């Protein structure tokens, strides 16, 4: 069955030539995803030259200008053409037949414009459809001048559409002139290639849409699971905060009571110490007084001359008076000494209690400092929780903005995803018994997630013995 002849042409100025050369020779960054770099080495050119395309066109244009052609910056110096073999027909042809087809087209343009004016005829086999980039300079053969408006006028384009298929038929190719509809489309080279690439791109995009739909579904499930986990963590943090507040309140109450006890003991110790000091001062004065009296008695006794005869009536009086004063003094001193000893013991006991209270106070101060640290840590945790809330909301907003309306998941599919997410969340939180499924579709998603989880567990158990060995 005959196929339509596919040919497109485009006019170029001298400034466009380098871009065409980079595209043809696969130079620089390749943006066309339809190009297979592993097949680029299969491309070939019917015009063999070590000189770049731009330099060849520039030198030829300068030569034609020297011969009388009017060549300016806005002059059309080159026509770029794409000749394509439809993919279905290319699959039927051998490599030699394809090469002969393109060579025949090249020969036609050489006959029409002169071999010296055909600058390049590069065949590309590294794309979806084999095609040839043919570049010629539109020289009017009647006068040898560069005249694009005459050499490649609309009338000439129609002639080529009629003549070239016949030229190919004479060489054994079952090709016919393209239909009028395609002719009137008047596609540029880039538009034509874009249309061919778009067909392939649509197929790729279709697969990407399916993958994106699945990824989006899984992402929503993960987001919901993360939200449930975050809510649970928030509950734990709130509970810990409340417990910490209660603990702080209890400790504050204990500290207040402790401070009250310390103040009360301090006041009592001050009073006891003052009383004890007064008692000691009084005792000291009494001791000094009786000590002086005793010393006087001793001094008076020393002055007695024991070798003298002493009146027996006086001696008993002296001894009696001496003994009486000594006993009173002794008893008084004994009482005051005992009182002083009791006060000293009480003072030592009070000092020990004071040291114990100080140590307890230091311990309470340390606990209060730790509680302040806990409150600071609690506030930091609250800020982190708020941050994660904002992150989750942002993720949901980004997902909503990225997904177009036509990619929205149907209600039936969404219920199934919800069931899938409920299983994931309950499995992570360890609360499978609390799951409530609202309809059969949620139940279906839940069972599907359960099967996936069981299969994963089986795979892990299979791998474990191998790892142990």
What are 365-377's pLDDT values in tens digits? 787 788 788 888 7
Handedness of CA 428, 430, 436, 441 (dihedral sign): positive
Give me the sign of the Cα torsion angle 211, 216, 221, 225.
Answer: positive
Place of tokens 């590309």: 124
Is 401 a residue whose pLDDT tops 70?
no
d(CA 207, CA 209): 5
pLDDT at 371: 79
| Lowest-pLDDT choice from 64-78, 196-210, 405-419 | 405-419
Average pLDDT over residues 231-256: 85
For residues 4 and 165, give the distance between their C-alpha atoms in angstroms, rounded to a whole number: 9
Complete DSSP assignment for 71-118: --TTS--EEEEEEE--HHHHHHS-HHHHHHHHHHHHHHHHHHH-GGGE
* Alpha carbon 46 to its chain's center: 53
- Give the model's pLDDT for residue 124: 93
Compute the average pLDDT of residues 395-410: 54
Q: What is the average pLDDT across 6-12?
A: 92
Lowest-confidence pick of 97-111, 127-141, 270-284: 270-284
Give CA–CA dist 44/99, Å, rounded.
10
Element (H, E) at 167: helix 154-169
User: What pLDDT does 431 receive?
Assistant: 60
Q: How many other C-beta atoms can be found within 10 angstroms of the C-beta atom of residue 33?
A: 10
Give backbone dihedrals phi and psi of 116, rounded to 5 degrees, phi first. Answer: -70, -15
User: In the chain, what are the domain boundaries?
Assistant: 3-187, 224-402, 410-468
What gap in Å lies between CA 337 and CA 279, rounded to an integer? Answer: 11
In this predicted structure, the answer to whether residue 318 has a pLDDT above a threshold of 80 is no
Does 311 or 277 have the greater pLDDT score? Answer: 277
SS3 376: helix
Mean pLDDT for 442-458 is 86
What's the pTM value of the predicted model, to 2 decimals? 0.42
Predicted confidence at residue 323, as pLDDT, reads 41
Q: Which residues pair with 83 in a beta bridge?
A: 7, 132
Cα–Cα nearest to 119, from 49, 167, 18, 27: 49
Per-residue pLDDT tens over the stretch 36-67: 888 889 999 999 888 999 999 999 999 999 98
Q: Which CATH number is associated with domain 3-187?
A: 3.30.930.30
Q: Is residue 42 a contact partner of residue 111, using CB atoms and an 8 Å limit?
A: no
Question: What pLDDT does 406 receive?
Answer: 47
At 114, the pLDDT band (50, 70, 90 cuts) reads: very high
Distance between CA atoms of residues 194 and 183, nearest Å: 17
Q: Max alpha carbon distance in the chain (Å)?
A: 187
- The answer, yes or no, to whether residue 102 has pLDDT greater than 90, is yes
87 has a pLDDT exceeding 70 = yes
Query: Is residue 188 predicted with pLDDT exceeding 70?
Result: no
Two tokens, residue 456: 């994963």
Distance CA 102, CA 80 (A): 15
Residue identified by tokens 């969340």 is 425
Q: Is the pLDDT at 395 greater than 60, yes or no?
A: no
């Amino acid at each position: 069955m005959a196929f339509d002849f596919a040919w497109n042409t485009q006019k170029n100025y001298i400034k466009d030539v380098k871009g065409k050369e980079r595209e043809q020779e696969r130079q620089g960054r390749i943006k066309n995803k339809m190009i297979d770099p592993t097949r680029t080495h299969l491309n070939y050119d019917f015009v063999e030259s070590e000189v770049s395309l731009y330099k060849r066109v520039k030198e030829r244009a300068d030569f034609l200008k020297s011969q009388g052609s009017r060549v300016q910056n806005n002059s059309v110096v080159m026509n770029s053409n794409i000749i394509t073999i439809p993919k279905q027909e290319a699959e039927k042809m051998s490599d030699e037949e394809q090469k002969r087809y393109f060579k025949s087209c090249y020969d036609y343009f050489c006959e029409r414009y002169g071999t010296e004016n055909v600058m390049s005829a590069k065949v590309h086999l590294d794309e979806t459809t084999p095609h040839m980039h043919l570049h010629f300079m539109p020289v009017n053969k009647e006068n040898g001048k560069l005249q694009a408006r005459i050499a490649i006028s609309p009338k000439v384009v129609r002639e080529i559409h009629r003549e070239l298929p016949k030229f190919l038929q004479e060489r054994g190719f079952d090709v016919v002139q393209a239909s009028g509809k395609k002719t009137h489309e008047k596609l540029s080279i880039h538009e034509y290639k874009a249309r061919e690439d778009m067909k392939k791109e649509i197929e790729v995009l279709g697969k990407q849409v399916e993958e994106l739909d699945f990824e989006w579904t899984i992402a929503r499930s993960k987001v919901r699971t993360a939200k449930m986990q975050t809510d649970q963590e928030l509950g734990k943090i709130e509970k810990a905060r409340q417990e910490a507040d209660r603990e702080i309140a209890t400790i504050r109450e204990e500290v207040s009571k402790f401070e009250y006890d310390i103040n009360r003991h301090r006041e009592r110790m001050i009073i006891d110490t003052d009383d004890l000091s007064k008692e000691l001062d009084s005792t000291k004065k009494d001791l000094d007084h009786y000590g002086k009296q005793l010393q006087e008695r001793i001094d008076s006794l020393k002055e007695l001359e024991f070798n003298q005869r002493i009146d027996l009536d006086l001696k008993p009086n002296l001894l009696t008076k001496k003994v009486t004063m000594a006993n009173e003094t002794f008893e008084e001193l004994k009482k005051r000494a005992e009182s002083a000893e009791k006060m000293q013991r009480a003072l030592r006991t009070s000092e020990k209690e004071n040291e114990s209270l100080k140590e307890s106070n230091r311990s309470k101060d340390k606990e209060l400092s730790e509680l302040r640290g806990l409150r600071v840590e609690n506030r930091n945790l609250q800020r982190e929780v708020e941050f994660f809330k904002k992150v989750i909301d942002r993720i949901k907003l980004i997902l909503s903005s990225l997904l177009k309306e036509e990619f929205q998941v149907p209600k039936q599919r969404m219920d199934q995803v919800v069931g899938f997410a409920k299983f994931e969340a309950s499995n992570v939180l360890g609360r499978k018994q609390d799951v409530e499924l609202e309809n059969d579709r949620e139940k279906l998603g839940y069972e599907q997630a359960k099967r996936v989880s069981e299969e994963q567990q089986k795979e892990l158990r299979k791998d474990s013995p191998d790892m142990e060995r």
